[in-house]
A = this chain, B = another copy of it.
């Protein structure tokens, strides 16, 4: 509940975005996406970073929405590319309408993301756009790597971590960075904030991978979904690296076998257990989180002010938000 106020203000500001009514086929999907249940993680992170230095956060919501709009644009296009039928419990745009409408309304959302930045103070706009572009390019690179890797039989841990860094973590980095930049922190602090978001983002994605196999019902996703889809995750990558002979053969066997979902998940998880992947993944997650928190501690800002951001990151990580 503590963070509800931010969510509310963000939704209020989102609802202020003026969208035309026509053509309906273009704007209905945008309205549909923006009304979906969403945690609004990225703008909230930006607000909390801003609040490390400046308490008067309501004035900066509009530029922070660019992060949310950009994120939603990537989801729409990624869902087309991944042929995903469901997102946040609702039908994806290309499923509910069609692919063309998904492409075009995604394009429009990206333009709207840039629109949110356009009335930043003149002396901040140029730098913000530049950073926004740099990170957007990385997100595209990450998505391309993700597609490439899905086609490969195997990738290594380094490749996997770099892919999720680009695809997911950079935008979380930018979220904290933008908040700090808008609060006029110095260059070093802003860079540190980016890094905190990036490290947290990698850890968060790894914990997503972990919860797919070892999560409980709170997670909200179907357990074993990634296994069923033969998705590259930290666990599947490590499983290939660490397994030998029979286990490796069995993993390959179940990868190709789509006859029994239940058995596929069970047998794969058994091998994951044997390889101690829960512990290994937890250790890796802790590594990234510790690095992130260490960086946060290193920021020369009153400890008290950091508590709110820390709380939020914790709740997010524990999927309590």
Q: Tell yes or no: A86 within 8 A of B by CB.
A: no
In whole Å, how far is A129's beta carbon from the nearest beta carbon of chain B?
A: 5
In whole Å, how far is A37's beta carbon from the nearest beta carbon of chain B?
A: 25
Complex copy number for this chain: 2
In whole Å, how far is A79's beta carbon from the nearest beta carbon of chain B?
A: 11
In whole Å, how far is A199's beta carbon from the nearest beta carbon of chain B?
A: 23
Q: Tell yes or no: A301 within 8 A of B by CB.
A: no
Q: Tell yes or no: A315 within 8 A of B by CB.
A: no
Q: Tell yes or no: A117 within 8 A of B by CB.
A: yes
Q: Is A77 within 8 A of B107, CB to CB? A: yes
Which of B118, B136, B144 is in CB contact (< 8 Å) with A25?
B144
Q: Is B114 within 8 A of A133, CB to CB? A: yes
In whole Å, how far is A260's beta carbon from the nearest beta carbon of chain B?
A: 30
Q: Is B119 within 8 A of A122, CB to CB? A: no
Roughly how many angstroms separate A38 CA and B70 CA in the complex, as a whole number?
Answer: 30
Q: Tell yes or no: A145 within 8 A of B by CB.
A: yes
Complex contacts, A107 vs chain B, CB 8 Å: 77, 106-107, 110, 140
A-B contacts, 7 of them at CB < 8 A, read A25-B147, A77-B103, A81-B100, A111-B137, A118-B129, A122-B123, A129-B129
Which 8 A-B residue pairs are closest in the complex by CB-CB distance? A26-B144, A81-B100, A23-B144, A111-B136, A115-B133, A118-B130, A108-B140, A118-B129
Q: A81-B100, A114-B114 are in contact. List 9 more A-B contacts (CB 8 A).
A: A23-B141, A77-B103, A100-B147, A104-B147, A110-B110, A111-B136, A111-B137, A115-B130, A125-B129
